[in-house]
Amino acid sequence: MHVSLRSLTKPVLHGYFRSSCSWRVRIAFALKGIQYDQVPVNLIRDGGQQCTDQYRKLNPMQQVPAVEIDGVTLSQSLAVIQYIDETRPGPRLLPGDPIKRAQVRMISDLIASGIQPLQNLHVLQKIGEEKVQWAQHFIDRGFKALEPILRETAGKYCVGDEISMADICLVPQVYNAERFKVDVSQYPTIKRLNQTLLEIDAFKVSHPSCQPDTPADLRT
């Protein structure tokens, strides 16, 4: 494991309380027991703070998160999670077994590439009045594929009995599904796994309802 003096400096997460990708990174930090600072990037206020020239220097895609860690700035949540896993002690977020590791990456990519981008804020702003139906359609489409995969791979968690990057991706996506009134009861494996994971402290403390930038009316 690579450890340097730079790793002693707290990482900085530039994110948004309700961003799936930001939440994934918060979960990973919590699972690893990593202390970090947060800099809120409001995706709605002032036309979207991610669109400023200052933020574009951190993340040229003008998305969250951007993570300053070990002297570099990383974007793309799965890349950040895998970097954390490779450089920090604590529970492994990708299994040692190559088949299970491939399954974790498959599930993570299905969610992070095949579902979430189609119902993120930038896309929905382009869709207009049909945005809810659009989001429901693509979440249902993705969950119909994900449910039988998880029936094959799941134990207590998405892949076997150890929490992994797949679980980190699943919970924020189910949260989005519920926001858009998708009937998650159609997907019993997804629903069971989500309920189990939400009882774990790392998923609780990273939840959108309790972040520094969570609006008062959405706090619990």
CATH label of the domain that carries residue 86 = 3.40.30.10
Question: Would you say residue 204 has pLDDT above 70?
Answer: yes
**pLDDT 10s digits, 41-92:** 999 888 888 989 889 999 999 999 999 999 999 999 999 999 999 999 999 9
Domain shared by 124 and 31, yes or no: no
Judgement on whether residues 82 and 126 belong to the same structural domain of the protein: no
Examine the domain organization and report whether 107 and 197 are in the same domain. Answer: yes
pLDDT for the residue 197 = 98
When pLDDT is cut at 50, 70 and 90, the band that residue 4 belongs to is low
Backbone CA torsion sign across 72, 92, 146, 14 = negative
- Determine the pLDDT at residue 6: 57
> How many CB atoms neighbour CB 73 within 10 A?
14
Instruction: Pull the structure tokens for residue 25.
Output: 């990174």
**pLDDT higher than 90, residue 207:** yes
For the chain, what is the domain count? 2
Residues 139, 188: one domain?
A: yes
15 plus 83 within the same structural domain: yes
- pLDDT in the model for residue 46: 80
Looking at the fold, whether 119 and 141 belong to one and the same domain comes out as yes
Span 28-39, pLDDT tens digits: 999 999 999 999
39: β partners: 14
At 116, list the tokens.
């979430």
**Domain shared by 83 and 9, yes or no:** yes
Q: What is the pLDDT of residue 215?
A: 94
pLDDT value at residue 121: 81
Whether residues 135 and 180 fall in one domain: yes
pLDDT computed for residue 124 by the predictor: 87
pLDDT at 23: 98
189 and 145 housed in the same domain:
yes
> Is residue 106 located within the same domain as residue 86?
no
Among the residue ranges 3-12, 163-172, 208-217, the one predicted with the least confidence is 3-12
Same domain, 28 and 59: yes
State the maximum Cα–Cα separation within the chain, in Å, rounded to a whole number: 51
Bridge partner list, 154:
160
Position 8 pLDDT exceeds 80: no
Q: What is the pLDDT of residues 128-186, one digit of tens each?
A: 888 899 999 999 999 999 999 999 999 999 999 999 999 999 999 999 999 999 999 99
| Domain coverage including residue 111 | 98-204
How far is the C-alpha of 17 from the C-alpha of 25, rounded, in Å?
11
157 and 127 together in one domain: yes
